[in-house]
Amino acid sequence: MKLSEIWERALFLLSVPKCICCGELLDFEEKALCSSCSEIFNEQKSRNCSRCSRKIPYCTCSNFYLESHYVKKLIKVYRYNSSKPELPGNLLVYCLKHDNRRDAFIRASVELAHSIEAAIDLSENKEYFIITNVPRRHKAILENGYDHAEMIARRIAKILGIEYAQFLVSKTEKPQKEVYGEKRKENAKFDYKKGPERSLKGKTVIIVDDVVTTGSSLAACAALIRGMGTRKIIGAALSIAYKDSYLKPRPSYSR
């Protein structure tokens, strides 16, 4: 047994976690969700994309807003269902944001890393890839003590053997979930992080986020990162919450 696994097991025994969905005590191998809640989670993952008809974890379709903002590929794990907050995937996002549970971070990172590996060939030239994340609002970091998207992105970087770096800071004032429609685009504000300038020429940057609702935050970050000379930008979200109608622009009919 590796030292890291002994450490993991010791942490587990110190406080055996409960399923974030039903509250049942978990086995060591079960991360955040018990086996029966994992089955419901797998159903959430097994929906097909209405554009490419692949299962969501294997679909890389972006939406029209992100496509017009340099994010041609969006990797994800499942569809967020705002009408059913009790679904495991929805609870997982809540847990990551507020509970700082090690097993939930492991679960989320392993699942998203798996989708990334399925979408991108990382067998060679790992040095051309960099992982980053949509930075969380300063106020939210103060309230919760951490940036959950950063924690997921850092873990994914370790799993995939890719560099993690952060180039941006959030200047967003209100939480995006309190803002609707077009206002989300105005609310999503970011800026370059202070420090030595860095060129991303020839690099592909993978930007991680928890839920992509319209893509306003991801698009705003992509625009700034693009300004650093990036070759390609790929989005990687744990879940998507936009409607299928958001996949393509509405046709405009002229009379």
What is the contact surface with Zn ion in residues (CB under 5 A)? Answer: 19, 21-22, 34, 37, 49, 51-52, 59, 61
In the complex, the smallest distance separating the C-beta of residue 26 from Zn ion, rounded to whole angstroms, is 8
Select 21 or 219, whichever has its Cβ closest to Zn ion: 21
41/190 with CB nearer Zn ion: 41
Between the alpha carbon of residue 233 and those of residues 56, 108, 211, the distances in Å are 20, 21, 17
Q: Residue 241: what are its φ and ψ, rounded to 5°?
A: -125, 5
Question: Minimum distance from CB of 172 to Zn ion (Å)?
Answer: 28
Instruction: List CB contacts of 92: < 8 A, sequence separation 6 or more.
Output: 20, 32, 33, 41, 104, 107, 108, 238
CB of 37 to Zn ion, least distance (A): 3
User: In 59-205, which residue ranges form alpha helices assigned H by DSSP?
Assistant: 64-67, 88-98, 102-119, 138-144, 148-160, 183-187
Nearer to Zn ion, 6 or 25 (CB): 25
Determine contact, residues 184/212, Cβ cutoff 8 Å. no
Residues with Cβ within 8 Å of 215's Cβ and at least 6 positions away in sequence, in order, are: 62, 63, 65, 66, 69, 71, 74, 235, 242
Which secondary-structure segment (H or E) carries 168? Answer: strand 168-170
Q: For residues 21 and 153, which CB has a smaller minimum distance to Zn ion in the complex?
A: 21
Complex with Zn ion: residue 51 or 231, whichever CB lies closer: 51
